[in-house]
Structures are given as structure tokens and as C-alpha cells.
Structure 1
Amino acid sequence: MNELQIDSSNASLAGLLAGLKPGEEVVLVEEGKRVAVLRKEPTQDFSCKAGSAKGKILNMADDFDSPLDDFAEYMQ
């Protein structure tokens, strides 16, 4: 775990955080006492990929796309 004096953190904090791996921590120290811990969070990739839902729909009703009875008066 890295330690960083608060008075020197302003100049080097951005570079220090950029160099951290997900889950690594930096302790901010002021006058020899720990005052905060910064941890880089892991990145999450939620992007959709072609074919990622293949095989997920196991059953679909035969009348899935038929008009609803509640809207019959609007269909005339």
C-alpha cells in the first residue's frame, strides 16, 4: 500500500491514481497520521456483444404478437 503526504498530493495525485491497478490503495497521511484511503475501483464492461442473448429465451407464447383484447375497439 502506497502512502502519500497530503501536502504533496495535489501535484502527484492524478499521476499516482492513473498508475494504480484496480483494487490497489493509496493512504493519505497528514502529520504522520492516516486520514484517508483511496482505492481504484475495477472497471466494469457492460457492452452488448452480438449473439450474447443466444439461447436465453427458452419459451415464447404462440400468441405473443397477436392484438390484445383490451384494444379490440381501437382495431376496428
Structure 2
Amino acid sequence: MTQITLAEASQNLSELIDAALDGEEIIIIKDNKPVVKLTPVLPVKRHLGFGSAKGIVTISDDFDEPLEDFREYRNHI
């Protein structure tokens, strides 16, 4: 973690951005107190392709079985 004063940060902003993009945590201090942390913005869009939820989403074995709560409704059809 790098701590840098606001004055130093304004003079070296480009280098600090590069360091943050490389994973370094940059803390900017003002009056000896941390006020800002530089962190990269993660991409918002993700490619969700076929199988991207494998291992995350599970379907129970009785997924397509009739629900007991609808027994009365099913009997009227």
C-alpha cells in the first residue's frame, strides 16, 4: 500500500493510475488523514456464454413434478 500526499498525487497522477491498474493500493492523504483510495474500475459487461453458470446453478431432481399447492387447481382441469 502506497500513501501519498494530495500535492504529490496531483503531480504524479498518471503514474499512480498505472500503479493502481497494476494492482497496487494507492491512498491519497490530506492533512495527515487518508481521504481517497485509487482503485481500478472493473469492466461492467461480462461475456455470459453457454455454460457460464456451471456449478453455480443447480436444479433439483423433482423440478418438473407437480406442486402440492396446486393439487386442487389441477383437479379442476
TM-score bin, normalised by smaller chain: 0.3 to 0.5
Give me the TM-score of the superposition, normalised by structure 2.
0.46
Give me the TM-score of the superposition, normalised by structure 1.
0.46
